[in-house]
Structure 1
Amino acid sequence: MRSSLPLVPNLRVYGPRTMPPLDSPMPQFSLAFGINSSSMPSFFLFFSINTPAQQHSFPPNPHFHLQAIMTHSLKITVHKAEHLDDVEHLGKNDPYVQVTFDIKNKDSFQKTSVKKNAGKNAEWNETLSLENYIPGQHHTLYVEVLESDVGIDPPIGFAAIPLSQVTNAQGYVFRGLFNLYTPSGKEKGTVSLTLAAVQAGQAAPQGNHAEVKGLTQIESDHKHRIESLKRNEKVSDAATAAGILGGLFAAKAVYDSTQKKDVPKEL
């Protein structure tokens, strides 16, 4: 069973639906709205069976219920990043931010635009959206800041953000300043984000929210992914350098051969 209900804090509504006894058994339903263990609204369905003689419950324990699986959207507004690690050797960083619930699915990432020549500080104020957000299943938001480059984009910083900060926030909106980590695991730089859980299809909430220090962490699988990106970037750079050198040697060989052909023969 699926439902898409608005996020309403502290919702407590009970709506019993009772059917009168008939000659044949008749189910009796009771629908209850409340807050589940993930601090998000959900609903429960209870039912029993009435007969003219007595009421029977199925199962015998009347607390039988079905909990709806509710899907929402997580809106991520990327405000800015500061004090980033400098990974561009021939100029300034061209950073962008990407986010996902699933680092193993490369198609699940949502990305900001690239800020050309931003260097160590960049500002976006762009809102990304991750759909099918289920609080009971999605516990972590993975954030990566990368350098836009030819070939493989090298990582600048990364972090894993516990989403309990959102589900425990008033109105399910949390604005935080989050620490980033370099591929080696060193704390370096910050990213400012507003995270908001909304009903699927709704826009991100408007208004200014006070920024607080957010909690970030390093998860081993995420760190392995970042380290792999870093290794692949080094291999790509080496291949590019080898290609350039190979091209230079080839050009020199062609030049030398033409010079030899142009030398006049002695009589």
Structure 2
Amino acid sequence: MLHLHTDSVLEVTVHSARGLKDVERFGKNDAFARISVDVDNSKQYEKFKTEVKKNSGSDPSWEQSFDIREVEDKHTDLYVEVLDDDNGADAPIAFAAIPLQQVKEAPNQSLSALYDLYNDHGVAQGQISLTIRIVQPGQVSSGNITYDGNFNKGLSRVDEEQKKRFKKLRLKETATDVGGATVLGGIAALGAGFLASQARKNEEAKKRDEALAENQ
């Protein structure tokens, strides 16, 4: 749906990703993407987040658009994160910082491109396709832009602050997994102890019954 913007807006369509690492231990990624113009703004990442694509594995597709109005001159990059949805802490898959200068220099200040993503070691891993457009006051939105698989390569980079953030997300996810495993291990140990105790009680009861039968 086309609509008239009354203020400056960064319009971002998150199309799809490809070549992602599968971080699920069992099954495939339940992948979602989120974006922000502030590297560590959790509220903004939560606001501009795609739906979760269940069992999408290494090549999820979203085709969702967002209007970011909280854009100022100090915002030089669009920060992108791709994660695997989990009941505990979401597992980080890949990230990238996308310089907005290339969008400003593009025809009509609109750029559809493929961008390299990076893992928490800063190594390129997978790509994401985005359409990024700077919409000035009085302009209309670009409507629904679909990805045809023929976008050119855009410029992305590893931002050190985002890299640190992603490592923290990894540590949080790992700690949650370890905690869950510890709890499950504790439950299993308690269960095993309970069963052993019950077995001893059953054996003692059996011996009492046998002794009672001999005395009759």
The one of 181, 204, 211 aligned to 2:141: 204
Q: Given the two structures, how large is their TM-score scaled by the length of structure 1? A: 0.69
Distance 2:193 2:146 in 1: 64
Alignment check: 8 A CA contact 2:63 2:146 kept: no
**Runs of 4+ in structure 1 displaced over 6 angstroms?**
none
> CA 1:201–1:239 in structure 2 vs 1: closer, same or farther (change >3 Å)?
farther
List per-residue Cα deviations over 1:203-247 (Å, max 9, x = no partner).
631367972210000111000000111111111111111111111
Gaps of 5+ in 2: none
Alignment check: 8 A CA contact 1:93 1:120 kept: yes
The one of 17, 36, 42 aligned to 1:100: 36
List per-residue Cα deviations over 1:172-193 (Å, max 9, x = no partner).
1111100000111111110000
Match of 1:114 in 2: 52
The one of 75, 83, 89 aligned to 1:138: 75
Q: Given the two structures, how large is their TM-score scaled by the length of structure 2? A: 0.85
SS at match of 1:111: coil
The one of 67, 71, 74 aligned to 2:10: 74
Distance 1:195 1:111 in 2: 15
The one of 180, 188, 194 aligned to 2:131: 194
List per-residue Cα deviations over 1:124-180 (Å, max 9, x = no partner).
11112211223x221110000001012111111100000001111111111110000
Alignment check: 8 A CA contact 2:117 2:124 kept: yes
Kindly state the Cα deviation for residue 71 of structure 1 after the two structures are TM-superposed. Answer: 5.3
Q: Which has the higher contact order (CA 8 A, sep 6+)?
A: 2
Q: Residue 90 in 1 paired to residue 26 in 2? A: yes
Match of 1:38 in 2: none
> CA 1:260–1:224 in structure 2 vs 1: closer, same or farther (change >3 Å)?
same
SS at match of 1:259: helix
> CA 1:238–1:201 in structure 2 vs 1: closer, same or farther (change >3 Å)?
farther
Kindly state the Cα deviation for residue 254 of structure 1 after the two structures are TM-superposed. Answer: 1.7
% identical aligned pairs: 35
Match of 1:180 in 2: 117
Alignment check: 8 A CA contact 1:85 1:182 kept: no
Q: Which amino acid aligns with 2:66?
A: L
> CA 1:205–1:259 in structure 2 vs 1: closer, same or farther (change >3 Å)?
same
Alignment check: 8 A CA contact 2:15 2:146 kept: no
Match of 2:61 in 1: 123
Distance 1:99 1:73 in 2: 14
User: Larger % of strand: which?
Assistant: 1
Q: Which amino acid aligns with 2:181?
A: A
Q: Which amino acid aligns with 1:224?
A: K
List per-residue Cα deviations over 1:109-138 (Å, max 9, x = no partner).
11000110011101111112211223x221
Q: Which has the larger radius of gyration?
A: 1
Distance 1:200 1:255 in 2: 71
Q: Which amino acid aligns with 1:86?
A: D
Kindly state the Cα deviation for residue 199 of structure 1 after the two structures are TM-superposed. Answer: 3.7
Match of 1:17 in 2: none
User: Larger % of helix: which?
Assistant: 2
Alpha-carbon RMSD across the aligned residues, in angstroms, is: 2.2
Distance 1:126 1:250 in 2: 47
Aligned residue pairs, count: 199
